[in-house]
Amino acid sequence: MEARAIYELLAEKIGDGALGFTEGTGDPVADVAPASIVDACTFLRDDERCDFDMMMCLSGIDWDGYDENGKGKSVSILGYTDLGEPETTERASDGDFGVAYDLYSHRLKHKFTLRVRVTREVASVPTVSGVWETANWHEREAWDLLGIRFAGHPDLRRMLLDESWVGHPLRKDYQMPSEWDAVRLSGRDYAKNPFPPIAPPETPTPPAGDKPAEG
Partner 1 sequence: MATEDVKATGWADQDHVPEIKSELLELNMGPQHPATHGVLRLLLETDGEIVYKVTPVMGYLHRCAEKIAEGVNYKQWVVYTDRFDYLAPMCCNHAYVTALEKLMGQEVPERGEHLRVVAAELSRIASHLVSLATFGLDMGAFTPLLYMFREREEILNLLERIAGGRMLYNYMVPGGVRYDVPDDKWIKDVLSFVDMMETKKVPEYNTLLSYNKIFIERTANVCVISPEDAFTFGCTGPVLRGSGVSFDCRRDDPYGAYPKFDFEIPVGQGQMGAVGDCWDRYFVRMLEIEQSCRLIRQALETLPDGPYQAIELKKPVKAPMGAVYSRTESAKGELGHYLIGDGGQTAFRNKVRSPSFCNLQVVTKVGVGQMVSDLVALVGSLDIVLGEIDR
Partner 2 sequence: MSYKESTTPPEGYDVGRENMLDFKIDKQFEMLEQSDSKNFILTTVDEVFNWAKLSSIWPVTFGLACCAIEMIAAGATRYDIDRFGAGAFRPTPRQADLMIVSGTVTGKMARRLKLIYDQMPEPKWVMAMGSCAIGGGPYFKYGYHVVKGVDFIVPVDVYVPGCPPRPEVLLEGLMRLQDKIRGRKGKLITPKWVLDYAQKIPYRK
Q: Which amino acid is at 188?
A: R
The footprint of partner 2 on residues 159-178 (CB under 8 A) is 161-162, 169, 174, 176-177
Of 44, 95, 113, 143, which one interacts with partner 1 (CB under 8 A)? 113
194 contacts which partner out of partner 2, partner 1, none, CB within 5 to 8 A by kind?
Answer: partner 2
* Category of 38 on φ-ψ map: left (φ > 0), alpha (ψ -120 to 50) or beta: alpha
84 contacts which partner out of partner 1, partner 2, none, CB within 5 to 8 A by kind?
Answer: partner 2
Task: Tell me the C-alpha distance between 37 and 34, whole Å.
Answer: 5
Ramachandran angles phi, psi of 207, nearest 5°? -60, 155
The footprint of partner 2 on residues 2-41 (CB under 8 A) is none
Q: How many residues bind partner 1 (CB under 8 A)?
A: 45
Contact 114, 101 (CB under 8 A): yes
Segment near partner 1 (CB under 8 A), from 1-9, 33-41, 62-70, 190-198? 62-70
Any contact of residue 208 with partner 2 (CB under 8 A)? no
Any contact of residue 56 with partner 2 (CB under 8 A)? no
Of 92, 183, 207, 209, which one interacts with partner 2 (CB under 8 A)? 183
Task: Tell me the C-alpha distance between 182 and 80, whole Å.
Answer: 18
**C-alpha distance from residue 107 to each of 50, 52, 103, 128, 135 (Å):** 9, 8, 12, 21, 20
184 contacts which partner out of partner 2, partner 1, none, CB within 5 to 8 A by kind?
Answer: partner 2
Any contact of residue 61 with partner 1 (CB under 8 A)? yes
Of 15, 20, 79, 167, which one interacts with partner 1 (CB under 8 A)? 79
Count of Cβ atoms closer than 10 Å to residue 34 Cβ: 17
Task: Tell me the C-alpha distance between 124 and 117, whole Å.
Answer: 10
| Cα Rg of the chain (Å, integer) | 24
The footprint of partner 2 on residues 78-97 (CB under 8 A) is 79-80, 82, 84
In order, the DSSP letters of 136-167 are HHHHHHHHHHH--EEET-TT---SSS-TT--S
Q: Which stretches of the chain bind partner 1, using CB under 8 A? A: 24-27, 29, 53-57, 59-62, 66-68, 70-73, 76-77, 79, 100, 102, 106, 109, 111, 113, 132-134, 136-137, 145, 158-162, 169-170, 172, 174
